[in-house]
Structure 1
Amino acid sequence: MRRLLIVTIAILALTASAGPALAAGGAAPAASSGVQTPAQADSTCEYPIELEDATGEQLTLEEPPESIVALYPSDAQLVYSVGAEDRLEGMPMGPYTEGLETEGKTDITADDGVTPVVEEIIALEPDVVLAANVVTFEEDKLNQLRDAGIDVYVFDSSSSVDDVRSAVEITGQLTGACDSSDVTLEWMDERLSIIEGALADEPRPSALYAMDGEVYTTGTGTFQHEILTTAGVENVAANAGIEGWGIISDETIIDEDPEWILYGDDAYDEPPVSDAVGETTAMQEDQHFGVDANAMSQPAPNVVFAIEDIFATVHADAYGEVEADLEAADESYEESLADLQTSASDDENADEEDADSGNKSNANDSESEMEDEDQGENEGTVQDANESDDEDSIPGFGVPVALAAIAGLLGLRRL
């Protein structure tokens, strides 16, 4: 249990904050000048496309990749969110991607669902590898992949929901799925707008996001902090001056007296806090609950579900008023994705029909040309035959034989 939590903290929840932040969604940001983001570049899927990643590496793709590898769980979620999973050949498989359909994919990890194995990735010969910023803490693996001639795009670190949006948009560009990424972003924005409106006049109780019994938590400068505030609570870790990820003492927790305590539902069935914290309002009033750990810790579109979980529990009445609107947004999203899929399928069929039509047209033109040539040759033969009849005085021989020859050629052409 403890090891699973440490992996979650160290690999899945890395943010852009200073301090002990190490996770898969983002890391202490790699040095970068001009990192490509949607605000800095046209988000259309026109190839060739050139992007600069978080390490300053220039990545050029001449055409949409046919083979993709997602290095970490959040990368896999991003690929699925833009509908490019049909070209995803390798990804982490385990508890951090259990909500994704992995049939036909290759597990590129060391059987733990999170640690990439370079040899597995190289063997797949992908056109591009998408890598969360945490790979900058495994620079040897990054260098091995690039030395093998594999294009790797390293995402910038995520310190806000807007950073998550940027990652979605860039994933659309990298995979040639801009239409799908736009639909996903519209869905995220609609959900967030609904929740924001519902919380406009609501009080904001204090809350602690507890990761383990020490207690490890999230402060300002992290997208998890923004998840909490967007869901309608005040983050006691931020109030206590914690930046990034850090340990908050029992004394500080008691002083801050959170009204709610949240925790990842993958590792605990109850709040991972000491008995001393039992005197807080949250514990006294039994106001604590588990949140989807993957949605909470991976900087990808599912952060909207973590926000909804918190909003629905802490602000139950306000949630009840907009629950139908959120469901409608989800239905509209699914319909839009289905329409895109249908449109793409129709376009593909149309292209195939055009190709078939072109092939048939070329074949008919070729046949017509050959027939004209044959007819011209045979007309010459008929003329020669007539001349031969006149010359050789063999009545009726030349014309019938020539016509029979032409008919024979046309008959063979139809076979």
Structure 2
Amino acid sequence: MRQQLAVLVVLLVTLSTIGPAVAGATTAPNAAVQESDSQCEYPLTMTDATGEEVTIESEPESVVTLYPGDAQLAYSIGAEGKVVGMPVSEYTESLDAGDRTDITGDDGVTPVAEEIVALNPDVVLAANIATFNEDLLQTLDDAGITVVVLDTATSLDDVRENVRVTGQVTGECAGAEETIDWMDERLEIYEDALENESEPLAYYDGGENGDTHGTETFQHEVMTTAGLTNLAASVGQTGWGQMNAEVVVDEDPEWIVYPDRTAEPPSADSLEETTAITEGNVVAVDDNAMSQPGPNVVYAIETIIEQVHPEVYAEIEAELEASGEPGNGSGNDTDEDQSDDSAIPGFGVPVALVALLATAGFVARRR
């Protein structure tokens, strides 16, 4: 069992690097959709992350979002009216689930095939992690349910593409393009404001075991877009992996960024000799915003800018407020009394771990 668990953890920390090449295909939207001035056209044929060609004959009227991050994508583009089933749990509590069916087991993450089949949706939208649950995908296929599995996002461009594909799959192409425009507007504001600013060395402390991200991850671009130099990338790391604390201390980052699921950087005790710890230069970012490849990644960038480049943030704050929220989505609730665990819905690293363990039989599924 320990060996199985170790394999699953390795799968988890490398998940953000196993995109189209491992999945066997890239998303190939129908040309008519791309040329239709943001209006979806059907039938739509695409090749999803499983390498299978998927055809959607007509605009879907009912959609199931398989994981919390899929629900975030659907809501962010205004497709929530078509969602009939989704995870309803702490991971999506900032979304208005209403009377939608909870399609997960007791953990609030693991999809239950019987619940989905009973809904008989026109289409199921699934994050790439679904490729690890072959039994679920086979059950849905046997039931004649169309499933579109998204590619793993390894860059901000990939995040945009997943938003666009979600629009095509749900019939909300215009909403998807509006959300992408919203992302691009904010990203341009960040880029212009930081053009002449320094880029201090920073380490992303993702866990006590040294979990961190290098190049070929969208998290790397989150940090560099926020005006930081990613320590892991600077020492040659690609994708997600584990870094020895001694290496981090030797590199001596000026800043440490960490997920807000913990009260302080998970490796703070091992990194106490770094400039970041001795000077208190630490930034807590919303865990789901940082780990889930959806529109809300821009808020993770914004949080970092606010802490690392406060003068720059003060100059652009009014401009950011004017840009509003993404499409018809949930936006970023910044109320101080909001729970850190649920500020932004998504499919972050802790949630992914639960899903992977459940897929392997470590977490009991409701039958």
Q: Shorter-chain TM-score: which interval?
A: 0.7 to 0.9
Query: Structure 2: where are the runs of 5+ without partners?
Result: 1-5, 332-367
**Could you tell me which amino acid in structure 2 is paired with residue 305 of structure 1?**
Y
**How far apart, in 1, do the equivalents of 2:220 and 2:125 lie?**
25
**How far apart, in 1, do the equivalents of 2:31 and 2:298 lie?**
22
**How far apart, in 2, do the equivalents of 1:308 and 1:213 lie?**
25
CA shift at 1:149, angstroms?
0.7
- Decide which of 214, 219, 224 is 1:224's aligned counterpart: 219
CA shift at 1:62, angstroms?
2.2
Please state if 1:64 is matched with 2:59: yes
For 2:85, what is the secondary structure of its paired residue? strand
For 2:23, what is the secondary structure of its paired residue? coil
For 1:114, what is the secondary structure of its paired residue? coil
Please state if 1:279 is matched with 2:273: yes
| Residue in 2 that maps onto 1:394 | none
- Cα deviation, 1:347-384, whole Å, max 9, x if unaligned, reads xxxxxxxxxxxxxxxxxxxxxxxxxxxxxxxxxxxxxx
Higher relative contact order (CA 8 A, sep 6+): 2
For 1:276, what is the secondary structure of its paired residue? coil
**How far apart, in 1, do the equivalents of 2:11 and 2:101 lie?**
20
CA shift at 1:213, angstroms?
1.0
- Decide which of 59, 78, 82 is 2:77's aligned counterpart: 82
CA shift at 1:110, angstroms?
1.3
Contact 1:184 1:333 in 2 (8 A): yes
| Residue in 2 that maps onto 1:139 | 134
**How far apart, in 2, do the equivalents of 1:15 and 1:115 lie?**
17
| Residue in 2 that maps onto 1:55 | 50
**How far apart, in 2, do the equivalents of 1:136 and 1:331 lie?**
32
CA shift at 1:125, angstroms?
0.8
**How far apart, in 1, do the equivalents of 2:234 and 2:147 lie?**
38
Q: How does 1:209-288 map onto structure 2 within 5 Å?
A: 209-266=204-261, 268-288=262-282
- Decide which of 15, 25, 36 is 2:28's aligned counterpart: 36
Q: TM-score, normalised by structure 1?
A: 0.72
Q: Quick one: structure 1 residues 224 and 15, their matched pair in 2 at CA, closer, same or farther if it must change by over 3 Å?
A: farther
Q: TM-score, normalised by structure 2?
A: 0.81
CA shift at 1:113, angstroms?
2.2
**How far apart, in 1, do the equivalents of 2:17 and 2:291 lie?**
14
Contact 2:127 2:150 in 1 (8 A): yes
| Residue in 1 that maps onto 2:146 | 151
**How far apart, in 2, do the equivalents of 1:332 and 1:296 lie?**
17
- Cα deviation, 1:335-357, whole Å, max 9, x if unaligned, reads 9x9xxxxxxxxxxxxxxxxxxxx
**How far apart, in 1, do the equivalents of 2:160 and 2:328 lie?**
19
| Residue in 2 that maps onto 1:305 | 299
RMSD: 2.6
| Residue in 2 that maps onto 1:121 | 116
Contact 2:20 2:49 in 1 (8 A): no
Contact 1:218 1:244 in 2 (8 A): yes
For 1:129, what is the secondary structure of its paired residue? strand
CA shift at 1:131, angstroms?
0.6
Q: Quick one: structure 1 residues 103 and 263, their matched pair in 2 at CA, closer, same or farther if it must change by over 3 Å?
A: same
CA shift at 1:274, angstroms?
4.8
**Could you tell me which amino acid in structure 2 is paired with residue 193 of structure 1?**
E
| Residue in 2 that maps onto 1:320 | 314
Give identity over the alignment, percent.
52
For 1:263, what is the secondary structure of its paired residue? strand
Contact 2:30 2:44 in 1 (8 A): no
Q: Quick one: structure 1 residues 82 and 223, their matched pair in 2 at CA, closer, same or farther if it must change by over 3 Å?
A: same
CA shift at 1:238, angstroms?
1.1
CA shift at 1:231, angstroms?
0.9
- Cα deviation, 1:189-216, whole Å, max 9, x if unaligned, reads 0000000000000000111111211111
For 2:78, what is the secondary structure of its paired residue? coil
Please state if 1:329 is matched with 2:323: yes
CA shift at 1:283, angstroms?
0.2
- Decide which of 271, 288, 293 is 1:294's aligned counterpart: 288
- Cα deviation, 1:309-346, whole Å, max 9, x if unaligned, reads 111111110011001001101169679x9xxxxxxxxx
**How far apart, in 2, do the equivalents of 1:327 and 1:157 lie?**
30
For 2:256, what is the secondary structure of its paired residue? strand
For 1:278, what is the secondary structure of its paired residue? coil
- Cα deviation, 1:163-221, whole Å, max 9, x if unaligned, reads 01011111111111111111111110000000000000000011111121111111111
For 1:273, what is the secondary structure of its paired residue? coil
Q: Quick one: structure 1 residues 40 and 278, their matched pair in 2 at CA, closer, same or farther if it must change by over 3 Å?
A: farther
**Could you tell me which amino acid in structure 1 is paired with residue 54 of structure 2?**
L
For 1:190, what is the secondary structure of its paired residue? helix
More helix by share: 1
Q: Quick one: structure 1 residues 12 and 301, their matched pair in 2 at CA, closer, same or farther if it must change by over 3 Å?
A: farther
**How far apart, in 2, do the equivalents of 1:11 and 1:123 lie?**
31
| Residue in 2 that maps onto 1:45 | 40
Contact 1:67 1:128 in 2 (8 A): yes
